């Protein structure tokens, strides 16, 4: 009997040791692309702008940085970003990250103090050049412009010289793989000003710039991915105010008989009008809402037509150079119409609670950035027959409530 | 900030298991060691659970047995198209049983069983990728079953027991609303008492061959006014009223088992059972909150379980008057379809291998041991209502110990 008990105990121990559960392993593959030297080119989205400013938190979870982490199994040789070393952040207008706070009894994003010293960084190191060339504020043609660092302090932080261009700095690194997402600001600089400032880049000119850019970047063996431009109607910055039901509103219009009129169906009021609306603007003839807070039907049509034309250009360039194409316009349109359910949570383009858009209503949250990175990875996998693992989006934070 | 956040916040329950779904079949070391067969065998007072009909043919005047099992189970998850992996850190499960049977006159046996035939305890890490679906869950159901068995003839016995089920459930999940202190969370805690029955027929067709048929009814666990507590960012606290409660209903499915027993000779006994589990009773899980708000809607979670069949075989070898050795195996189908696999019950087809034995410590007292190893067959599936998919694996090792006392 003793021996039986002995055998029984031994066997139990062996089985317990063998109880460690098996886990299915992912097998990464680079397919037909070469990820060794990855360079990301673009604007504030590529830089990691979130909650209305650029700071280390957003940089850590910029979509190129997340992609670079996912490229680790397919031969990437590091990915250097122009990291902000302070705890601060800075926007183009000098403010810092927005925080969600309770203002007059309701939740509102409040910009923090900007850290201007960030813009005095000079981070270029010829031994280890910056690979995330996302420059907040950049339009398509800015990427080609020599001396852009003298115009844009965000580029000056890491440009090789004051005379260089973004594309020239990219080419110096001899990239094997490039992500390019540009064109948003070609309409946004106009749209964010209510159509009263800036200009929409002419679609023909945009096509010309994009041809020059892609011809330089992808002339050789370089592989890559280009994303298209989301329609502004998918962004909470342009949809939130009227979703709360502010009609009817009085707005300035120099062509109207008395210089003001009632807001028409289909027109958009910018998120930046929030404080004016709180102060009573738009509710009386004495204080109509300024026209730079409104996009009228003509302005919206011009923006929509331009984006459609840009996206046609981007699509055909991807075909021409055999590049992966990310339809972020389609993705964000789906988000703003039907919404998306991903890994146990529902997302929409609803301001603050939607989960993907940050407190500025234009840029993504960290989780949104991970979701965007996965859209890039899916497209790369398809185009290059690669097997790059998607990232677990639930590791990244969304909007922080007080 | 409307319903979107919470559209699916409370998609819940069901459970990892030692059998599929949330059944636990380790209700006797003797039966466990033989692949949970025994509907057509009289293996002692555990027939209270396996077939009350068989108990009527008990030859001793008294038969008591009790025992317990340690469940070491683990589940793993690998996200689809991703290198993300997670493994559970489940607490050790402790199903137990207690049976007593007494012969009354020539034809009747009265008995009682206390068993834990349903349960689940599953714990993923609190910050794991599926935390909006489930962080951890503990489901317990203790069945108290007074039973009456009647011998119609020397070959035919019937039995009927009433099942009183004391059930409780506790589950935790994360909410996708975040403050500087971290994400919000929800805890649901409820308990209930419900009823069912257990009926069986046993037929000794010849000296060697026996048949058994057992039906354990469905038990509706209706939880009324369970505690629903939420931790959320303070700015949203008004949407999650304190002292909220929920109603929910979880069915424990009916089982119909047909068994065959065959006494090959003095030494060998063989058994086969076919157990049909009426899992289709579990169509959905609804949490009906007493207080609803813009952010806290009632939660509807499709489950869509399908009926399954479990195939079991077992053998007993009487080595001597003192020692019996047993072994068995079974194949257990999953009731969960490929698009409704929720990580709170990572179900998959499973193979169970078991062995054990009984040693007579004295003429009346016997030591029963069993060891069961369960291997889940790797499965890629998704819970499509939450768009959560991955490849799951499970294993479990269940050593068990028990005592029988007969006279």
- pLDDT of B1 reads 38
* Domains identified in chain B, total number: 1
Q: Cα separations (Å) of A20 from A37, B24, B50?
A: 39, 21, 31
CA angle A390, A356, A100 (to 5 degrees): 135
d(CA A152, CA A141): 13
H/E element, B171: strand B156-179
Radius of gyration of chain A (CA): 24
pLDDT digits (tens, 9 = 90+) for A230-243: 999 999 999 998 88
d(CA A298, CA B272): 79
- pLDDT of B140 reads 87
In the block, tokens 């194949």 appear at B331
In this complex, do A401 and B132 lie within 8 Å of one another by their Cβ atoms? no
- pLDDT of B3 reads 39
B319 touches chain A (CB under 8 A): no
- pLDDT of B204 reads 96
Measured from the Cβ of residue A352, the count of other Cβ atoms closer than 10 Å reads 19
What are the DSSP E strand ranges found in A61-139? 89-90, 95-103, 106-113, 132-134
Percentages helix, strand, coil for chain A (3-state, rounded to 5) are: 40, 20, 40
Confidence of residue B255 (pLDDT cuts 50, 70, 90): very high
Question: Distance, in angstroms, between A354 CA and closest chain B CA?
Answer: 7
Question: Distance, in angstroms, between A297 CA and closest chain B CA?
Answer: 28
pLDDT digits (tens, 9 = 90+) for B18-58: 456 666 777 889 999 999 999 999 888 999 999 999 999 99
Range of the domain at B250: 3-406
Interface of B with A in 159-178 (CB under 8 A): 176-178
B61: which 2 tokens?
Answer: 């005047």
- pLDDT of B26 reads 77
Task: Over range A56-74, report the average pLDDT.
Answer: 98
CA angle A217, A222, A226 (to 5 degrees): 65
Among B81, B322, B378, the residue with its CB nearest the CB of A389 is B81
pLDDT digits (tens, 9 = 90+) for B330-365: 999 999 999 999 999 899 999 999 999 999 999 999
Radius of gyration of chain B (CA): 23
Confidence of residue B168 (pLDDT cuts 50, 70, 90): very high
What are the DSSP E strand ranges found in A228-378? 250-252, 260-262, 268-269, 294-295, 324-326, 340-342, 345-347
In this complex, do B4 and A390 lie within 8 Å of one another by their Cβ atoms? no
pLDDT digits (tens, 9 = 90+) for A86-104: 999 999 999 999 999 998 8
Distance of CA A170 to the CA centre of its chain: 19
pLDDT digits (tens, 9 = 90+) for A330-389: 999 999 999 999 999 999 999 999 999 999 999 999 999 999 999 999 999 999 999 999
What does pLDDT average to over chain A? 93
Residues of chain B in contact with residue A24, where contact means CB-CB under 8 angstroms, are 76, 78, 85, 378, 380, 391, 393
In this complex, do B386 and A341 lie within 8 Å of one another by their Cβ atoms? yes
pLDDT digits (tens, 9 = 90+) for B93-107: 888 999 999 999 999
Judged against a pLDDT cut of 50, whether residue B2 lies above it is answered with no
Confidence of residue B277 (pLDDT cuts 50, 70, 90): very high
Judged against a pLDDT cut of 60, whether residue B379 lies above it is answered with yes
- pLDDT of A19 reads 65
d(CA B188, CA B175): 13
Interface of B with A in 72-91 (CB under 8 A): 72, 74-79, 81-85, 87
d(CA A59, CA A61): 5
In the block, tokens 């991703």 appear at B82
Interface of B with A in 129-148 (CB under 8 A): 129-133
Task: Over range B154-164, report the average pLDDT.
Answer: 96
Judged against a pLDDT cut of 70, whether residue B7 lies above it is answered with no
Q: Is the dihedral of CA A176, A181, A183, A189 positive or negative?
A: negative
- pLDDT of B4 reads 35
Q: Which of B261, B330, B270 is nearest to B32 (CA)?
A: B330
d(CA B85, CA B87): 7
d(CA A94, CA A78): 31
CB A54, CB A44: distance < 8 Å: yes
Measured from the Cβ of residue A320, the count of other Cβ atoms closer than 10 Å reads 12
B8 touches chain A (CB under 8 A): yes
Judged against a pLDDT cut of 80, whether residue A15 lies above it is answered with no
Judged against a pLDDT cut of 50, whether residue B10 lies above it is answered with no
Q: Which of B248, B280, B245 is nearest to B169 (CA)?
A: B248
B360 touches chain A (CB under 8 A): no
Q: Phi then psi for A120, rounded to 5 degrees?
A: -90, -5
Judged against a pLDDT cut of 90, whether residue A2 lies above it is answered with no
Query: Which chain A residue's Cα is nearest to B343?
Result: A344
Residues of chain B in contact with residue A336, where contact means CB-CB under 8 angstroms, are none
**Of A38-52, A264-278, B145-159, B330-344, minimum mean pLDDT range:** A264-278
B70 touches chain A (CB under 8 A): no
Residues of chain B with pLDDT > 90: what percent?
85
Interface of B with A in 209-268 (CB under 8 A): 233-236
- pLDDT of A12 reads 61
- pLDDT of A24 reads 87
- pLDDT of A258 reads 86
**Of A7-21, A93-107, A127-141, A173-187, minimum mean pLDDT range:** A7-21
Structural domains of chain A, with CATH:
38-247+300-395 (3.40.50.1110)
- pLDDT of B14 reads 31
Interface contacts A/B by beta carbons within 8 Å: 145
- pLDDT of B43 reads 87
- Residue B229, domain CATH: 2.40.160.60
Judged against a pLDDT cut of 90, whether residue A77 lies above it is answered with yes
Residues of chain B with pLDDT > 70: what percent?
94
In this complex, do B132 and A343 lie within 8 Å of one another by their Cβ atoms? yes
Is the pTM for the entire model greater than 0.90?
yes
**Of A223-232, B14-23, B150-159, minimum mean pLDDT range:** B14-23
In this complex, do B395 and A19 lie within 8 Å of one another by their Cβ atoms? yes
Confidence of residue B5 (pLDDT cuts 50, 70, 90): very low
Question: Distance, in angstroms, between A375 CA and closest chain B CA?
Answer: 12
Q: Which of B397, B402, B404 is nearest to B371 (CA)?
A: B397
- pLDDT of A14 reads 60
Which of B6, B33, B79 to mutate against chain A (most A CBs within 10 Å)? B79
Q: Helix A184-191 to helix A297-321 angle, to the nearest 10 degrees?
A: 170
In the block, tokens 């039986």 appear at A4
- pLDDT of A34 reads 97
Confidence of residue A256 (pLDDT cuts 50, 70, 90): confident
A92: which 2 tokens?
Answer: 């183009």
Report the complex ipTM: 0.92
């Amino acid at each position: 009997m003793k021996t039986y008990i002995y055998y029984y105990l031994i066997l139990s121990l062996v089985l317990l040791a063998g109880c460690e559960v098996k886990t299915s392993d992912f097998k990464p593959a680079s397919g037909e692309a070469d990820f060794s030297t990855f360079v990301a080119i673009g604007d504030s989205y590529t830089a990691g702008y979130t909650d209305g400013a650029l700071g280390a938190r957003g940089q850590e979870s910029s979509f190129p940085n997340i992609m670079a982490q996912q490229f680790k199994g397919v031969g990437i040789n590091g990915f250097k970003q122009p990291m902000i070393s302070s705890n601060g952040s800075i926007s183009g207008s000098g403010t810092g990250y927005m925080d969600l706070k309770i203002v007059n009894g309701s939740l509102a994003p409040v910009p923090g103090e900007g850290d201007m010293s960030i813009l005095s960084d000079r981070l270029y190191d010829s031994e280890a050049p910056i690979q995330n060339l996302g420059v907040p504020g950049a339009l398509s043609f800015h990427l080609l412009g020599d001396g852009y660092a003298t115009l844009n302090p965000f580029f000056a932080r890491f440009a090789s010289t004051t005379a260089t261009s973004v594309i020239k700095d990219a080419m110096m690194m001899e990239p094997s793989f490039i992500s390019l997402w540009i064109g948003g600001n070609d309409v946004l600089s106009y749209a964010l000003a209510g159509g009263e400032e800036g200009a929409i880049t002419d679609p023909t000119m945009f096509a010309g710039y994009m041809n020059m850019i892609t011809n330089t970047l992808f002339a050789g063996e370089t592989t890559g991915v280009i994303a298209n431009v989301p329609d502004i109607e998918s962004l909470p910055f342009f949809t939130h105010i009227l979703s709360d039901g502010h009609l009817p509103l009085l707005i300035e219009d120099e062509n109207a008989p008395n210089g003001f009129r009632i807001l028409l169906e289909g027109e958009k009021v910018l998120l930046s009008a929030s404080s004016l609306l709180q102060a009573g603007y738009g509710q009386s003839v004495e204080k109509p809402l300024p026209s730079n807070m409104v996009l009228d039907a003509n302005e919206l049509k011009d923006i929509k037509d331009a984006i459609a034309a840009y996206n046609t250009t981007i699509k055909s360039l991807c075909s021409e150079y055999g590049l992966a194409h990310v339809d972020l316009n389609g993705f964000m349109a789906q988000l703003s119409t039907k919404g998306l359910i991903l890994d146990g949570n529902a997302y929409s383009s609803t301001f603050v609670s939607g989960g993907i858009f940050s407190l500025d209503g234009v840029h993504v949250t960290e989780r949104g950035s991970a979701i965007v990175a996965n859209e890039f990875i899916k497209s790369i996998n398809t185009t290059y027959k690669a097997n790059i693992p998607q990232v677990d989006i639930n590791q990244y934070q969304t909007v922080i409530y007080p | 900030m409307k319903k979107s956040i919470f559209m699916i916040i409370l998609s819940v329950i069901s459970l990892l298991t030692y059998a599929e779904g949330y059944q636990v079949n380790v209700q006797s070391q003797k039966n466990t060691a033989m692949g949970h067969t025994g509907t057509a065998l009289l293996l002692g007072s555990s027939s209270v659970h396996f077939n009350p009909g068989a108990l009527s043919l008990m030859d001793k005047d008294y038969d008591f047995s009790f025992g317990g099992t340690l469940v070491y189970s683990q589940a793993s998850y690998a996200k689809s198209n991703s290198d993300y992996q997670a493994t559970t850190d489940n607490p050790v499960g402790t199903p137990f049983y207690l049976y007593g049977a007494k012969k009354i006159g020539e034809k009747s046996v009265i008995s009682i069983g206390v068993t834990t035939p349903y349960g689940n305890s599953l714990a993923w890490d609190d910050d794991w990728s599926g935390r909006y679906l489930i962080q951890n869950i503990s489901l317990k159901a203790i069945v108290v079953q007074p039973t009456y068995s009647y011998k119609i003839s020397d070959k035919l016995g019937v039995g009927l027991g009433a099942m009183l089920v004391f059930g409780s459930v506790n589950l935790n999940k994360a909410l996708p609303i975040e403050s500087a202190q971290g994400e919000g969370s929800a805890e649901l805690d409820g308990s209930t008492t419900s009823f069912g029955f257990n009926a069986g027929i046993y037929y000794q067709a010849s000296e060697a061959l026996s048949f058994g048929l057992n039906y354990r009814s469905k038990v509706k666990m209706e939880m009324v006014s369970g505690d629903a507590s939420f931790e959320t960012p303070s700015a949203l606290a008004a949407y999650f009223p304190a002292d909220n409660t929920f109603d929910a209903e979880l069915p424990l499915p009916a089982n119909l088992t047909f068994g065959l027993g065959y006494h090959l000779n003095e030494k060998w006994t063989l058994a086969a059972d076919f157990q049909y589990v009426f899992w289709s009773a579990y169509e959905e899980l609804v949490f009906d909150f007493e207080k609803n708000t813009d952010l806290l809607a009632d939660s509807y979670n499709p489950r869509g379980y399908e009926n399954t069949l479990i195939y079991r075989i077992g053998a007993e070898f009487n080595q001597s008057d003192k020692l019996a050795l047993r072994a068995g195996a079974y194949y257990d189908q999953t009731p969960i379809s490929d698009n409704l696999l929720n990580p709170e019950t990572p179900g998959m087809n499973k193979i169970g291998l078991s062995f054990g034995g009984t040693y007579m410590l004295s003429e009346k007292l016997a030591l029963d041991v069993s060891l069961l190893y369960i291997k889940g067959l790797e499965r890629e599936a998704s819970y499509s209502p939450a768009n959560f998919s991955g490849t799951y694996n499970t294993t479990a090792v269940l050593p068990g110990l028990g005592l029988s006392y007969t006279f």
